[in-house]
Every structure is written in structure tokens, then in C-alpha cells.
Chain A
Amino acid sequence: MYDIENYYNASTIEEAVRLLKEHPDTRVISGGSDVLIKIREGKMAGTSLVSIRDIKELNGITKKENGDIYIGAGTTFSHITNDPVIQENIPVLGEAVDQVGGPQIRNIGTIGGNICNGAVSADSAPTVFSLNALLRIEDGNNGRTVPIRDFYLGPGRVDLKRGEILTHVIIPAKEYQGYHGNYIKYSMRKAMDIATLSCSVVSKVNTEKNILEDVRITFGVAAPVPFRCEKTEAALKGQEISEKLYEMTEQSIRQEINPRDSWRASREFRMQIGGEIAKRALKRTIELAGGDRK
């Protein structure tokens, strides 16, 4: 039995927006794998909830004619992983969210919840960042569309105002077409764990010239919010694919990330792992693109 003060069920976005505005003490609940746990822990005990589970348009994945992919915020991790659109176009996202918790959690946890709870360890976040995703937010009026990078404000805080609901994660066609991605989750267990550090690399390789044409590297748990390694990206772009490139990646990442000390892991340790997993993830994306042609 959960200590819930009031419970409201919304079946449309409009209704959800209205309920949230009418009851300023409420929180949105979707999959529940985060909110219910916090209620039980006491952090959210006595809260009131607005459920958005029954809002049909939040579920599912569609590819628009222009190639943009719309992922409903209420789509569960396992549905994302098993979705043919994802498998065909952005397999890295399906692989990333396949590393959340365990199978049962992946059957209830949603990508919208994963993003909106603002956790830096969220397994979807680094990849969504590296894909330069856009977030569609509805508020009952015109709503707004924001780049994912502007959405995270700090640990556990996102740019979502009362009465706003994240409805879709949009992956624009130009951000994934021609790219390959790889996500490495570094955790203490192979399942049922949160990331100690995580890295998602999305890259585009010019196989003819054997150069790295474009690269995006995002870390989870290396800063208060998911962190794009822009300096490293800039340094790597246009470089020839070689062992030197990987060494450079490792060194540059360690210059750029700024993880903290905690009882879970030391800064030093995360620095070591960070360089290593960025290098390995980049290597993997290049292999996926056809590899080092030399």
C-alpha cells in the first residue's frame, strides 16, 4: 500500500494538463518505476498523482515521411528495443534502453519518465543527447519543442513547468541518417543496476577517405547532467581513423569530463573508466560503419 494522498487518471493530454493545473500538489506518474519507489522511500510519501498511462497518443513509435522519428513519451523501454523502426534506424537507442534495470522494469519504465526525472544516470539520456533529439512538450495551448540539451537544468531537475507534459522524443532524420551509434553502460552488475558511468557515441564515417566525418559523445554520470564532450568532438572531427584517433579520444575525454567523488565511485576511477569506454564506444561505431579501411 502506497502513501498516496489523491489519485487522478487522465485519458487525454488536455485532461492531464487540466488536472495538473487544478491540483498544484500533484505529480505525473507514467510507468511508476521511479515515482512509486520514491513514495515508498518517503521522499514523495503523501503525494498526489496524475496518471498519464491511459493517454493513447503517448504510446508508440512512428517514422514521419521526412524521416523524423517520433517516440511517444509513454513508450516502454522494451517496446522501444523491439520496435522495427528503432531497430532499423537507430539501433543504438534500442540497445541503450535494453540496459535499464531488468526485463520487468523495461516492461514498465518509459522513455519519457526516464528523461523527465532528470537522473544523470538514465540509460536513455546519453544516446538521446548524442542523437540531438528534440522534445515535444504540450501545455494545452501551443506547446513547445526544445532540444534535449536545454531540457536538463540540474540533478533531478528538468525544464518542465506545471501543466506541461512531455509527449514525444523526436529524433530528426538528419541526426541519425548515415550515423552509427554505440552505448556503453559501466555498472557494477550486468543487470539490475544504474550506471556508474555511461557513454554514448554516435558517429559518421567517410569510408572512402577513412576519416571520422562527425562524432557526438555524451556521458552519463560525468557531470550533474548528461554531458556532451564538445571539445573532444571538435578535436576528433575530420581526423583519420587510426589507433592514434582512439588514443586521442581517451586522453581528450579525460581532460574534458568532470565526474565527482561519491561513495559509489571516486572521481579518479571515473576518469579512468571514462577515457576507456569513450574509446571503446567510438571504436565500435567505426566498426559498425565498416571499420578502419586501411
Chain B
Amino acid sequence: MIKDKVLVRCVVNGKEVAEYVDPRESLLDMLRNRLGLTSVKKGCEVGECGACTVIIDGETIDSCIYLAVWAEGKNIRTLEGLEKNGDLTRIQEAFIEEGAIQCGFCTPGFVMSATVLLERGEVLTREAIKKHMSGNLCRCTGYQNIVNAVEKVMLEQQETEGV
């Protein structure tokens, strides 16, 4: 039986974090219970719904099926890390503008998936956007406005680069 906690050092939302964690803990547990990052939601605990999506070293992962000890040395981002003193990122604003938010429980995961996609700077078809967002389930929106929000920011980025 595991008795000893393990020290995990990582960067979470730009800050260095050192936490003693139980090796049985998921990253989801650690982020919520130890760091109070409650944007990371629990919807299925098996990597099927995407509500717990966070970004690790530039890639989205389901934090429910990722052990906390694996975070050692990693750069982790959650929704809490996106806004700067209350100022939203463009994709967060677009979620509001496009009506992509309803109950809000899946929203953090979707925003994280969208964030990684937009940071790549690619311009994709709607179908390709949908594929990138297909690891996040939503029951409220039918995805239409979520895809619209991502597409909107993607096209804005393209225009800005064009200038």
C-alpha cells in the first residue's frame, strides 16, 4: 500500500509549483484539490468527455487519466491561466460573442482545446476544426456556435497575419 507522497515540481499557469502528491492521484485531483483550479471539470473520469482538458507542454490531455506524478517537469496550463487580470483571450471573447456557452461545464475543456489549436496558427476547414474539437463532448450547444467561435478567431488571426 502506498504510504509515501511524492514530490512533484512543475509549472502551472506560469508559476513554479512544488507539491507532495499521492501517487494514486490523477492530475485532475491535484489541480482541483491541491491547487484549487476548479475550471478543470470531472465528467467521466475515463477520457471520454474532455471536460478535464488541460494543456501539457503544448498538447491537450485529459487530466483525469493522467497521474499527478507524471506532471514532474511539465508545463501545465489550465483555463485559469489564460486571462490576464480579468482580460480574456480572443477565443474566450469569441465564445461569449458567438453564444458558445450554455451550462458552462464543458466550456473550460473546449476553450483549452481551441487554445492549442489557435496557437498553432493554422487555418483549417470547419471539418478539421471539428476534428480537433472532437475529444470534448457538449450536450447543450450542438457544437455549432463553438465551431463558429473557433473559426471566427482563426480567420481573424489569418487577416492579422495578412496585414
Contacts and interface: CB of A to CB of B under 8 A. Distances in A.
A–B contact via C-beta, under 8 angstroms: yes
Interface of A: 1-7, 9, 32-33, 36-37, 40, 51, 53, 78, 101-105, 107-108, 190-192
Given A105-B62, A192-B137, 13 more contacts: A1-B22, A36-B26, A36-B65, A37-B46, A40-B45, A51-B70, A101-B47, A103-B132, A103-B135, A104-B50, A105-B47, A108-B65, A191-B135
Interface of B: 1-2, 22-26, 29, 45-48, 50, 53, 59-62, 65-67, 69-70, 113, 131-132, 134-137
Q: Which of B46, B50, B60, B65 has the most CB of A within 10 A?
A: B65
Given A1-B24, A33-B47, A192-B48, A53 B70 contact: yes
Given A1-B26, A4-B23, A5-B1, A40 B60 contact: no
Contacts of A108: 61-62, 65-66
A25 to B, nearest CB: 13
A37 B67 CA distance: 12
A2 B26 contact: yes
B60 A107 contact: yes
Contacts of B24: 1-4, 7
B106 to A, nearest CB: 13
Contacts of B131: 103, 191
Given A4-B23, A36-B65, A78-B59, A102 B134 contact: yes
A105 B66 CA distance: 10
B34 to A, nearest CB: 12
A197 B45 CA distance: 26
Contact of A104 (B25, B26, B60, B70): B60
A115 to B, nearest CB: 19
Nearest to B67: A32
Nearest to A29: B67
A-B pairs, 10 with minimum CB distance: A102-B135, A191-B134, A7-B23, A107-B59, A104-B135, A103-B135, A104-B62, A4-B24, A36-B65, A2-B24
B65 A5 contact: no
A268 to B, nearest CB: 29
Contacts of A32: 65-67, 70
Contact of A1 (B25, B61, B66): B25
Contacts of A102: 50, 134-136
Nearest to B116: A103
Contacts of B70: 32, 51, 53
B65 A33 contact: yes
